[in-house]
């Protein structure tokens, strides 16, 4: 693979001149520029990004850490980030943390070791302290879906509690009084927040919270299936099921139908996240909109602004969820 040196020899100029025409940051005569360009083309020269990074201490890339590489939530997030960054000619380097502390730290180490210019992290297992320390390091960092007061301006998060509140309130206003709830993993902050919102709404309507009709799921379809199976076995009846995300709602719906019940006639179902698919399933899922794509875009804008000094735009740090009523819920 040709190097800058080969190009300089062929073009009959110095190595520095070649570097200059690449970076267009210094005046080079029209004529030599052309000579260099020709030589580059002739050699099929491609700059070595690694060497560039080492010499300049910048990589023109931002690192992204997601929990999983699959799933609609992370898919939207990655797409949102990449789309925004691409307009600025920055690249992304993606790693997966799998919601495990060791792997998350590992992924972050990897991204740092690759000398990313900034990091966008969706982390769940590492501690606040760890993150605060990280933010105080020398590499710019944004957190998605996590709010830490001490570093609030590094956070792009959704008010999950409010989302949980909206979800339950909507059903309460439809007359529902008996609820079942399939939550996310209880150690995850967003799962806790959504459940808190649920409870707040119940309290507001003087409806007691029934722990026996709560199931801790895993945010996946199978969690929803297992959850509803469990809940249906309990002695207490319920008219509404709230799932802490759409995937679990989907899993639950499948089982409910298998048991011969109708949605929403027998059970109203509410999801959370408003994944793209939720409008294509049957019945169309009522849910809480989580604008994750825009949040990804916003996180990317943050790095553009704070790292690459581009486009001074307004950064929204806390997003507000909104209710999306469709066909899986109905008044009782």
Partner DNA sequence: TTGTATGCGTTATCAC
Partner DNA sequence: GTGATAACGCATACAA
Give the footprint of a second copy on this chain (CB under 8 A): 1, 46-51, 53-54, 59, 68-72, 74-76, 78-79, 82, 91-96, 109-110, 112-115, 138, 221, 250-251, 253-254, 257, 276-277, 279-282, 284
Of 234, 192, 227, 226, the residue nearest 210 (C-alpha): 234
**Integer Cα distance of 12 and 200 in angstroms:** 75
The correct pick among 54, 83, 277, 311 for binding DNA (CB under 7 A) is: 54
* Cβ proximity to DNA, 52 vs 196, nearer residue: 52
What are the distances in angstroms from CA 122 to CA 52, 94, 119, 187, 226? 28, 11, 10, 15, 27
Quick check: 23 binds DNA (CB under 7 A)?
A: yes
In sign, the C-alpha dihedral spanning 264, 268, 269, 270 is positive
**Integer Cα distance of 114 and 130 in angstroms:** 20
Q: Which does 110 bind (CB under 5 to 8 A by kind): DNA, a second copy, none?
A: a second copy
Quick check: 324 binds DNA (CB under 7 A)?
A: no
Minimum gap (Å) between residue 60 Cβ and DNA = 10
Helix ranges, the chain (H) = 4-11, 15-23, 30-43, 49-56, 72-87, 101-113, 128-135, 160-173, 189-204, 221-233, 246-258, 292-306
Quick check: 14 binds DNA (CB under 7 A)?
A: yes
Please give the backbone phi and psi of residue 269, each rounded to the nearest 5 degrees, phi first: -125, 135
Within 10 Å of residue 130's Cβ, how many Cβ atoms? Answer: 15
Q: What angle do CA 216, 74, 280 make, to 5 degrees?
A: 80
Q: Which does 250 bind (CB under 5 to 8 A by kind): DNA, a second copy, none?
A: a second copy
Q: Which does 94 bind (CB under 5 to 8 A by kind): a second copy, DNA, none?
A: a second copy
Q: Which does 27 bind (CB under 5 to 8 A by kind): a second copy, DNA, none?
A: DNA
Quick check: 70 binds DNA (CB under 7 A)?
A: no
Quick check: 26 binds DNA (CB under 7 A)?
A: yes
The correct pick among 37, 43, 52, 317 for binding DNA (CB under 7 A) is: 52
- Interface region with DNA, contact rule CB under 7 A, candidates 43-51, 122-130, 213-221, 320-328: 43-51
């Amino acid at each position: 693979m040709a190097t800058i040196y080969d190009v300089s020899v062929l073009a009959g100029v110095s190595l520095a001149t070649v570097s200059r025409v690449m970076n267009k940051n210094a005046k080079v005569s029209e004529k030599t520029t052309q000579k260099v360009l020709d030589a580059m083309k002739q050699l099929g020269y491609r700059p070595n990004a690694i060497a560039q990074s080492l010499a300049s201490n910048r990589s023109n890339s931002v690192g992204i850490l997601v929990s999983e590489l699959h799933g609609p939530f992370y898919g939207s997030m990655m797409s949102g980030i990449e789309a925004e960054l691409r307009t600025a000619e920055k690249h992304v380097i993606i790693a997966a943390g799998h919601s495990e502390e060791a792997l998350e730290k590992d992924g972050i180490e990897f991204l740092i070791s690759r000398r990313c210019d900034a990091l966008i992290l969706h982390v769940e297992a590492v501690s606040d302290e760890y993150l605060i320390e990280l933010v105080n390091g020398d590499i710019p960092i944004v957190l998605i879906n996590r709010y830490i007061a001490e570093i609030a301006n590094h956070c792009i998060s959704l008010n999950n509690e409010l989302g949980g509140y909206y979800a339950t309130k909507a059903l309460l206003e439809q007359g529902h009084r008996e609820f079942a709830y399939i939550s996310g993993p209880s150690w995850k902050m967003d799962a806790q927040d959504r459940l808190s919102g649920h409870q707040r709404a119940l309290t507001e309507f003087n409806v007691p919270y029934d722990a026996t009709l709560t199931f801790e799921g895993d945010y996946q379809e199978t969690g929803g299936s297992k959850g509803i199976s469990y809940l249906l076995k309990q002695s207490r009846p319920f008219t509404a099921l709230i799932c802490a995300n759409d995937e679990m709602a989907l899993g639950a719906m499948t089982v409910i139908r298998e048991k011969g019940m109708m949605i929403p006639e027998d059970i109203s179902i509410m999801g959370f996240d408003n994944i793209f698919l939720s409008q294509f399933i049957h019945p169309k899922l009522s849910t809480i909109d989580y604008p994750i794509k825009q949040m990804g875009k916003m996180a990317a804008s943050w790095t553009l602004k704070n790292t690459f000094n581009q486009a001074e735009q307004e950064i929204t740090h806390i997003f507000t969820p909104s209710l999306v009523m469709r066909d899986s819920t109905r008044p009782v």
